[in-house]
């Protein structure tokens, strides 16, 4: 691409960063910002020029861009999305530029990484995956090339989510509907269920486990033998000095069948990290049900539509000595060991809806999950369906509390219990259980609800700044009006 070209009359190309089957990536300057800040522009090319499905691709692209925006705003270890646009039948994403090197580059330049360094990377990335999965999204392309070590602080950054690639791979099937022509993921790092087009949360953990093994051994998955009796990867001989504890964690993460792996990123983190003694428990930090800690009040500018929630997921870190089997720096304070029983089955995917943007977030009636009326049912045994992008279909009437600020107009006229549902629904969307039986029974009856965390171990860093502000705002309204 000509470096003098201004994409969207705004973005000046500096140099090409990479290219592949879906398009090219450029380092660019934003000429409409005073600083002319640098950014990454991804030029995406659909695999088909069929005009019949161009509009469908356009709609899907807009949905995926909205998801990327929410992820980048919600976690500082995911690049922010600055803009997206379509120009001359090609699609563009403009994202935050992360100056640094990929894990592939690090190993190529410096060789195998130490166990302590790999532990730190895992401990830093697993809360990011916990956040991504809490948004009902599966990354689907975790590998050394898609994890960058930021130059300024060495923190690993998760890049290049797979859903947009799937959108670019949309074609028309024999029945006249849009469908993906490709499987998203990288051979070797992709588990069998993902290769079959049915990724689950533990698919990402499988990919992360093989990424860690690459860092420890310099061996790509294709270079490792497979036990033909069990289907498991044979790798330990290439890392003879690794501690048995980490080797056991990685072995479980890369089990061939998803049922044998960790069921959540938090569970895998718990297996790696030694809890910090005397650390504050999350029970003391929780704002659900009966809050004990106040959140900073909402700023005076109430007209601001959204706050920057990037720091909401920033883990509080401490440094500790690396001695023997003890882990090193970057232990998440208060991230308690998961004691709750993991879901009995992994989520599966269904074909992505091809309706208009206003209805695309909901599955057609034939794909809607039927949940029993029994309020005591553990909803984790009835996983809601996932679409082919790995995103959970939801029908939560108060899900807007995660994307815009609540106002008095939203609250006036509601009963105390309705307000409790709104406030605690923010926590419920992230998988929190409740001590209040009435609240727990209500959320058990909701098809979108998946209880994951007991009240005393709920990781509050899953909530964005906006969600925390809305919790506090509803609570203040209840206190002012005697509706507690």
Q: Which residues are within 8 A (CB) of 263 and not within 5 positions of it... i.e. 6 or more apart?
A: 201, 202, 342, 343, 346
Whether the per-residue pLDDT at 313 is higher than 60: the answer is no
Q: Return d(Cα 457, Cα 219) in angstroms, integer.
A: 37
30, 141, 387, 420: which is the annotated catalytic residue?
141
Helix (H, G, I), strand (E, B) or coil at 434: coil
Q: In whole angstroms, what is the distance from residue 28 CA to residue 7 CA?
A: 10
Q: How confident is the model at residue 64 (pLDDT cuts 50, 70, 90)?
A: confident
Whether the per-residue pLDDT at 341 is higher than 90: the answer is: no
22 or 6, greater pLDDT: 6
Average pLDDT over every residue of 458-479: 89
Average pLDDT of the segment spanning 108-119: 95
* Collapsed DSSP state (helix, strand, coil) of residue 462: helix
Task: Output the CA angle 414-419-425, nearest 5 degrees.
Answer: 135
CA 329 vs CA 156, 243, 312, 338: distances in Å? 14, 17, 20, 21
State phi, psi for 371 to the nearest 5 degrees. Answer: -115, 135
CA distance 433 to 243: 35
Tally of CB atoms within 10 A around 323? 8
419-457 confidence digits (pLDDT tens): 999 999 999 988 899 999 889 989 998 888 888 888 888
431: its two tokens: 């998988």
**pLDDT band at residue 13 under the 50/70/90 scheme:** very high
pLDDT, mean of residues 242-268: 94
Rounded distance between C-alpha atoms, residue 225 and residue 204, angstroms: 21
CB atoms within 10 A of CB 89: 12
In sequence order, what are the residues at sequence separation of 6 or more whose Cβ sits closer than 8 angstroms to the Cβ of residue 151? 99, 100, 101
Give the single-character DSSP code of 432.
Answer: B
Partners of residue 468 on adjacent β-strands: none
**Of 188, 180, 3, 11, nearest to 85 (Cα)?**
11
Report the distance separating Cα 258 and Cα 138, nearest Å: 14
d(CA 159, CA 150): 12
| Structure-token match 């290439």, residue found | 238
Checking if the pLDDT of 396 tops 80, the result is: no
| Euclidean distance between CA atoms 5 and 392, whole angstroms | 39
| Per-residue confidence (pLDDT) for residue 336, from 0 to 100 | 34
- For the question of whether the overall pTM of this predicted structure is more than 0.75, the answer is no
Q: How many CB atoms lie within 10 A of CB 95?
A: 22
**pLDDT tens digit string along 195-221?**
888 889 999 999 999 999 999 999 999
How large is the average pLDDT for residues 7-24?
A: 86
Above 80 in pLDDT, residue 481? yes
- Parallel, antiparallel or unpaired: strands 386-387 and 349-350: parallel
**pLDDT of 126-184, one tens digit each?**
999 999 999 888 999 999 999 999 999 999 999 988 767 666 766 655 455 555 545 67
Is 3 known as a binding-site position?
no
Q: What is the rounded distance in angstroms from the CA atom of residue 233 to the CA atom of residue 219?
A: 12
Q: Which domains does the chain have, with CATH numbers?
A: 6-96 (3.30.200.20), 100-272 (1.10.510.10), 282-295+309-334+394-480 (1.20.58.1690)
On the CB side of 185, how many CA atoms lie within 13 Å of its CA?
26
CA distances 391 to 201, 335, 348, 425, Å, are: 11, 25, 10, 19
* Residue 474: closest CA among 403, 410, 384, 430: 410
Across the chain, how many H-helices and E-strands are there?
A: 12, 17
Which tokens in the block code for residue 291?
Answer: 């809050």
In the chain, the percentage of residues whose pLDDT exceeds 70 is 69
pLDDT at position 173, please? 53
Q: What is the pLDDT of residue 101?
A: 96
What was the pLDDT predicted at 10? 94
Residue 456 bears catalytic tag = no
What does pLDDT average to over the chain?
75
Q: Which pLDDT score, from 0 to 100, does residue 45 have?
A: 78
Separation between Cα atoms, residue 45 and residue 87, nearest integer Å: 11
How confident is the model at residue 182, as a pLDDT?
A: 59
Write down the pLDDT at residue 427.
Answer: 93
Q: Work out the pLDDT band at 52, boundaries 50, 70, 90.
A: confident
- SS3 state at 82: strand
Indicate the range of 4-18, 124-138, 353-367 predicted with least confidence: 353-367
Q: How far is CA 430 from the centre of its chain?
A: 12
Which stretch of 8-12, 205-209, 342-346 has the lowest confidence by average pLDDT? 342-346
More confident residue, 63 or 104: 104
Q: Give the whole-angstrom CA distance, residue 203 versus residue 165.
A: 17
């Amino acid at each position: 691409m000509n470096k003098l070209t201004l994409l969207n009359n705004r973005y000046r190309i500096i140099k090409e960063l990479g290219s592949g089957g879906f398009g090219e990536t450029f380092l660019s300057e934003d000429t409409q910002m005073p600083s002319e800040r640098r950014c990454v522009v991804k030029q995406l090319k659909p695999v088909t020029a069929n005009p019949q499905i161009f509009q469908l691709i356009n709609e899907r692209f807009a949905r995926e861009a909205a998801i990327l925006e929410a992820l980048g705003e919600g976690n500082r270890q995911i690049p922010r999305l600055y803009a997206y646009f379509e120009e001359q039948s090609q699609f563009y994403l403009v994202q935050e530029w992360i100056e640094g090197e990929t894990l592939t580059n690090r190993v190529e330049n410096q060789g195998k990484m130490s166990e302590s360094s790999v532990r730190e990377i895992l401990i830093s990335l697993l809360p990011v995956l916990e956040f991504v999965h809490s948004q009902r999204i599966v990354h689907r392309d975790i590998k050394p090339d898609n994890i960058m070590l930021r130059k300024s602080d060495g923190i690993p950054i998760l890049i290049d989510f797979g859903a947009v690639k799937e959108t670019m791979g949309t074609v028309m099937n024999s029945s006249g509907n849009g469908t993906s022509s490709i499987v998203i993921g990288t051979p070797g790092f992709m588990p069998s269920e993902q290769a079959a087009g049915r990724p689950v949360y533990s698919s990402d953990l499988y990919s992360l486990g093989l990424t860690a093994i690459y860092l420890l051994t310099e061996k790509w998955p294709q270079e490792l033998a497979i036990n033909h009796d069990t289907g498991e990867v044979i790798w330990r001989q290439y890392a003879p000095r690794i501690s048995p504890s980490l080797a056991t964690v990685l072995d479980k993460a890369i089990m061939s069948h998803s049922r044998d792996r960790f069921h959540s990123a938090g569970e895998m983190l718990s297996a790696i990290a030694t809890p910090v003694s005397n650390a504050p428990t999350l029970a003391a930090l929780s704002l659900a049900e009966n809050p004990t800690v106040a959140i900073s009040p909402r700023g005076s500018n109430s007209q601001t539509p959204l706050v920057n929630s990037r720091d909401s997921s920033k883990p509080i870190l401490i440094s500790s000595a690396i001695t023997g089997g003890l882990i090193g720096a970057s232990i998440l304070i208060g991230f308690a060991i998961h004691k709750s029983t993991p879901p009995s089955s992994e989520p599966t995917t269904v074909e992505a809806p091809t309706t208009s943007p206003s209805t695309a977030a909901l599955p057609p009636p034939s794909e809607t999950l039927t949940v029993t009326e029994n309020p005591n049912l553990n909803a984790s045994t009835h996983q809601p369906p996932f679409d082919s992008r790995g995103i959970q279909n939801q029908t939560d009437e108060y899900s807007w509390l995660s994307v815009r600020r609540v106002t008095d107009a939203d609250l006036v006229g509601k009963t105390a219990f309705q307000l409790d549902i709104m406030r605690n629904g923010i926590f419920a969307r992230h998988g929190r259980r409740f001590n209040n039986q009435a609240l727990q029974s209500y959320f058990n009856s909701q098809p979108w609800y998946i209880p994951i965390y007991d009240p005393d171990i709920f990781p509050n860093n899953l909530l964005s700044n906006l969600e925390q502000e809305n919790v506090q705002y509803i609570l203040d309204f209840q206190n002012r009006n005697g509706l507690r």
